[in-house]
Amino acid sequence: MSHQRQAIVLMAVALALVAMVGAVSAVTQTWYLSSDTTTGGNIMYRGDQSGATGNVQIEKGGSVIWLANENATVDLTFPVGDWSVTTQKSSATGSGEGVAFTASIGVYNATTTFSPKGSVSGSLSTSSQTFTIKDASSFTVHTGEWLALQITNTETRQGNRKFNIVTSASASYVTQPETTFTYPIPELATIVLFGAGLLALVGYIAYRKRS
């Protein structure tokens, strides 16, 4: 087969791979909060409700961080979008009224710091509630870092109004906006697109050498 024909074949394959990527739908992932602990906080499991169940207590003025069960294997950039946080409070010190809180999505890095990229505030009751972090900024979870969720008890009323976050089954979880990759490593569609670009480049170079 001539070099020119090889170039044409490579370019055709690249176009076919791009078409395959275009047919792949966007990805939405959910992380379920658990009572399992790790260095830096608790663990949230991607698409898995089998983590330790129970309650995670947050004191007045305190906060708890949930880290994704795996750190990123490559740099992954989440787009601007809405993150939904579903939580359930089991109890609180004080009256049966709701307790003020703030939930923040962001990045936890190797220096044990949490960087929030979007937040929502509200009042937690004993029923399951869903809050939306509107238009969280685009952010990158670099290789070795963790996607993380922080919940802070922001109560200012008198008394030690601590509360417990229920972590049984699907009681509390966070859902990301749609992306074209999976965390902690890109899915096949992203890899295919990268490969298609390489094939197209090789085909173009081969064609230029023959022309």
Cα 107 from Cα 173, distance rounded (Å) = 17
Q: What is the pLDDT of residue 201?
A: 57
Q: What is the pLDDT of residue 195?
A: 53
What is the arithmetic mean of pLDDT over 155-170?
A: 87
142 alpha-carbon distance from chain centroid: 12
Q: 92 pLDDT band (50/70/90 cuts)?
A: low
* CA proximity to 151, closest of 41, 70, 73, 75: 41
DSSP state of 138: P
Q: Using CB atoms within 10 A of its CB, is residue 189 exposed (0-12), middle (13-18) or buried (19+)?
A: buried
pTM summary value: 0.77
Q: Is the pLDDT of residue 124 over 50?
A: yes
177: cis peptide before it, omega within 30°? no
* 173-175 vs 99-108, strand pairing mode: unpaired
